Chain A
Amino acid sequence: MDPSRKRRIRLGVALCAAVLLAGALMYTSFGASTKTESPSKLLTSAEPGRSYEVTGKVVDGSIKREGTRLRFAIRDRDGTAQIPVVYTGTVPDPFREGREVIVSGKVENGVLIGERDSLVTKCPSKFTKAPAKS
């Protein structure tokens, strides 16, 4: 076989392998992903047993500690619909009332049962506050 043809075949094989690998990666990413929902959507259309990732603001006055368990409620960024959350595991330092958090879990009887250690708050470089009024 002449060398240029051999090279072309080799390139073809390598490209096919790369495309196959990339395809597998893309395909599995759709299966492994968690659906992102807002609290209001979750209230109306949560499928039982499916895992969701919810983004919302912690409702003022809703945080309660029960031993190592944490109860709070999150609401839509612009809205009032809220869903109660039961969560165990680490709570990041920036977690506070009124702050936006992300938590993953499953919905049971209208309550989001948070996955252990799944609570995330936003990166602190993005906190924006209105300047204090004196």
Chain B
Amino acid sequence: MDTLGTACLVVALLTAVYSAGAALYGARTGRHEFVTSARRAFYCLAGLAILATALIESRYLASDFRYELVAQNSSTSLPTFYKLAALWSSQAGSLLFWVLVLSIFSSVVLHVTRRAHREIVPYATAVLAGIAGFFVFLMLAYASPFATLADPPAEGNGLEPLLRNPAMMFHPPMLYSGYVGFSIPFAFAIGALVTRRTGADWIRSTRRFALIAWTFLGTGILLGALWSYSELGWGGYWAWDPVENAALMPWLTGTAFLHSIMVQEKRGMLRRWNLALIVGTFVLSLLGTFLVRSGVLNSIHAFGASTLGVPFLIFVAVVLLGSVGLLVTRLDDFKSSARIDSLLSREAFFLLNNLALVGLCFVTFWGTWFPLISKAVTGNESSVGPPWFDRYTMPLGLVLVALIGIGPLLAWRRVTTRAALRAFAAPLAVAGGALVLLLALTDAAESTSSLALFVLAAFVLAAVGQEFWRGAGARRVLAREPRPLAMLRLVGRNRRRYGGYIVHAGIALVLVGVAGSSAFAKHEDVRLAAGQTARVGGYEVTYVRPTAGVASDRAGTGAPITLGALLRVRKGDRVFYEHPSRNYYPSQDFSQGGPFGRFFEGEANSEVATKWGLTHNFWAAVTPDTSNLMGPIRVANRRFADASPDVQGVILAAIAQSYAKSPPPATFRLIVSPMVSWIWLGGLIAIAGALTAGWPSPDARRRRVRSLYAARLGRDLSRA
């Protein structure tokens, strides 16, 4: 089956090369049948990618350890769900996943546009085929998912325990789908550049893909944050780690792109800027994949350096230089057809929001790559930490929230002072009211930046609410609909606009969650013996008793041993119980700790206990002290080393139970963070908004069909 898999990849490479060649040849000679053939080659490429993925997944399911990939990150004891998801925890697997998603997305967009934009599509096809070909080439030359082992082991390494978390399993495919998705508008932008088609055609046909990519990337970032919060045992969700930043940067420029293309569609402005933005977004997506996989940021994250660095960098350089070259030679063709009339107009504020987003991206970029920059400038490698990032991103973030609120209240072209006053009166009043309430009722004033953010978020929510209210009000009068129905119809008929407003409200809530939880969280690291009590942020936490279990992990990670603690938590009159624990995975190395000790010498990680709440989250992690177990382990190692597996299982259970009987004090990390759940709640709202905005509207489809029908009728009439 490895021959079949490799054959799949070889044929896929040839197909990609053919597709690119045929598309270019067809475009140059005007022979459209070659372009059609190139498109069909892409369908074939998607089929091959699906087949290759199915092949390797079937090996994962069968735990076929002849395959290096399967032996490295799966095992027979791994739950089926994690077996299937183990694919993208490896380098070769994630490359295959890139190709899979890219070929499917491309096939869809090429199918949808098969009768449109005859000039642009051939070049877009060639660009997409080039990208797909490059990734297939990487797999064949450097990291094949079908590599086999001459001497297959009886049992695999198993999936890294920290990755055995549902959020982590969906996070990588979401991120990759986001990265890949941006290659579609990028390819069409290159097509527009090559053919000097200055209109908004390339935007209209790929706008939805940009939105889908943006949604995937945003969801991926939120899931990564959730994983960090609920799995890593430190209780935070964002640390300005290069890998996190790598995903954030294309999301920021992608957000800017989604806004500025509206200006081009409505007013014919910002043409060059849009092209530059999508090129930047795609290059940042490539760099994102590269950062995660290459270990290039050596000093800080010198982890598992890979062989992909050089070819990847060459590819990024080719993409960047090629796009910039095209852009520069065509600057005059892509001049704006209009100018900004007034600074008090929607387009002017879109421009400002673009600047703020690109500024945020620049800060993130500078900080992420600073180790390399400082080495080049001063010769010494240095790095900047979260406080540096916070100092610059916080003010830019505040500006951005203000712009989110102001932008939709302004009309295109220009606003009269009277109209502006009418639009701003209610949201400003709400923001003022929120400020007074926050100062009077809460201690939000302790953190000025958080207070500012809360007030600005109230302004945004009021502005969004006002738009909905007024829109529905107009429908109610004109169409004589009751208000709830008018509200639904309003959103249904103007999905892009009102979906966008829902996203705005969601993002405002996410930032409220970030501000609340980062400024007002309380945490304690304490060492407690059974029966002792600690206090954190108004919560009274009592360590009731230790717990121990064999093969009883509630999260279904397949951990053989779980040690934990039962906590009684009291806040006012409310009492609840929490059960944080720590999973122990055996070391595969039998020399470490002997047949029994190895169960405590391998990986260990926290299963965090979290009590989710709208106002506060209570979060607890425990690190049990296993030093008392060393005695029983030594005895067991000596006396039961050759016992049958069943007996060894019983002995292991007895060792674990002995922890519950006489536990030494355990170390706890307790965190009470206000409003942290709003991050994911707001995220869900934003995703719902993005889906609303991207969902095809029946009206639009009817209009499209009608115009196609009219065109055909016209053709037939002219022939007759």
A interface residue numbers (CB < 8 A to B)? 7, 18, 21-22, 25-26, 28-30, 32-36, 53, 55, 65, 67-68, 77, 89-94, 96, 100, 102, 104, 117, 120, 122-129, 131-134
Contacts and interface: CB of A to CB of B under 8 A. Distances in A.
A26 B392 CA distance: 11
A69 B18 CA distance: 62
B303 A122 contact: yes
B333 interface: no
A89 B383 contact: no
B384 interface: yes
Contacts of A104: 385
Contacts of A131: 65, 68, 71-72, 149, 153, 156-157
Contacts of A96: 603
Contacts of A126: 295, 301, 303-304
Given A22-B362, A68-B667, A89-B525, A36 B149 contact: no
Contact of B155 (A67, A127, A134): A134
Contact of B378 (A30, A53, A91, A117): A30
B374 A33 contact: yes
B62 interface: no
Nearest to A22: B362
26 contacts: A28-B388, A28-B391, A29-B366, A29-B367, A30-B382, A32-B385, A33-B383, A34-B385, A35-B382, A36-B299, A36-B371, A65-B625, A68-B525, A68-B527, A77-B302, A89-B525, A93-B232, A100-B302, A122-B301, A122-B303, A125-B172, A126-B295, A126-B304, A128-B304, A131-B71, A132-B153
Contacts of B292: 125
Contacts of B384: 29, 32-34
Given A29-B388, A102-B300, A124 B160 contact: yes
Contacts of B243: 123, 125
> Which of A122, A129, A132 counts the most chain B CB atoms within 10 A?
A132
Nearest to A32: B388
B234 A132 contact: no
A47 B232 CA distance: 34
B381 interface: yes
B380 interface: yes
A123 B154 CA distance: 28
B714 to A, nearest CB: 44
A18 B351 CA distance: 14
Interface in B606-628: 606, 623, 625
B234 A90 contact: yes
> Which of A22, A96, A104, A127 counts the most chain B CB atoms within 10 A?
A127
A63 B385 CA distance: 26
A74 to B, nearest CB: 13
A32 B387 CA distance: 9
A2 to B, nearest CB: 13
Interface in B567-610: 588, 603-606
A26 B373 CA distance: 10
B229 interface: no
Interface string B304-320: 10000000000000000
A129 B300 contact: no
A25 B392 contact: yes
Interface of B: 65, 68, 71-72, 89, 149, 153-157, 160, 162-163, 172, 232-235, 239, 241, 243, 292, 295, 299-304, 339, 355, 359, 362-363, 366-367, 370-371, 374, 377-378, 380-385, 387-388, 391-392, 525, 527, 588, 603-606, 623, 625, 667, 669
Nearest to B527: A68
A123 B234 contact: no
A77 B305 CA distance: 12
Contacts, number: 130
Contacts of A129: 72, 157, 588
Contacts of B623: 91
B157 A125 contact: no
B204 to A, nearest CB: 29
Contact of B233 (A18, A65, A92): A92
A55 B299 contact: yes
Nearest to A4: B339
A123 B303 contact: yes
Contacts of A35: 380-382
A34 B359 CA distance: 23
Given A33-B383, A67-B527, A131-B156, A123 B366 contact: no
Given A32-B384, A36-B371, A129-B72, A100 B362 contact: no
Contacts of B234: 90, 92, 117
B466 to A, nearest CB: 31
Contact of B382 (A34, A55, A102, A134): A34
A93 B154 CA distance: 28
Contacts of B162: 93-94, 124
B272 to A, nearest CB: 14
B382 A33 contact: yes
Contacts of A122: 301, 303-304
B156 A90 contact: no
A30 B68 contact: no
Contacts of B233: 90, 92-93
B340 to A, nearest CB: 9
Contacts of B381: 35-36
Contacts of A132: 71, 153, 155-157, 588
B299 A93 contact: no
A104 B300 CA distance: 11
Nearest to A94: B162
B370 A29 contact: yes
A29 B363 CA distance: 10
A100 B302 CA distance: 8
Nearest to A35: B382
Contacts of B588: 129, 132
B380 A100 contact: no
A39 to B, nearest CB: 13
A92 B371 contact: no
A93 B383 contact: no
B538 to A, nearest CB: 22
A36 B525 CA distance: 28
Contacts of A100: 302-303
B595 to A, nearest CB: 15
B370 A123 contact: no
A70 B606 CA distance: 18
A110 B408 CA distance: 60
B383 A36 contact: yes
Nearest to B363: A25
Nearest to B300: A102
B392 to A, nearest CB: 6
A30 B374 contact: yes
Contacts of B160: 124-125, 127
> Which of B370, B383, B527, B603 counts the most chain A CB atoms within 10 A?
B383
Contact of A55 (B239, B302, B363): B302
Given A53-B299, A77-B302, A123-B241, 4 more contacts: A29-B366, A29-B367, A36-B382, A90-B235
Nearest to A97: B601
Contacts of A128: 72, 304
